[in-house]
Amino acid sequence: MKSYQEIKDRLEEVNNAIDDLTGRNNPIELNKLMLKAETLKWVIEG
């Protein structure tokens, strides 16, 4: 089980990656990252 801080840091990395991809018009990669971000958000928020 990862610590809260590890999960929070990873979520920040994923959010930054999503921001980087937003302007690149790559819906497949963006959807993958959104799914990861939503999953991490769910883990953090419970």
- pLDDT tens digits, residue range 5-31? 888 888 888 878 877 777 666 677 778
Specify the pLDDT at position 24.
Answer: 61
Specify the pLDDT at position 29.
Answer: 74
Specify the pLDDT at position 38.
Answer: 87
pTM of the complete model beyond 0.75: no
How would you label 15-31 residue by residue, b for 16+ Cβ within 10 Å and e otherwise?
Answer: eebbeebeeeeeeeeee
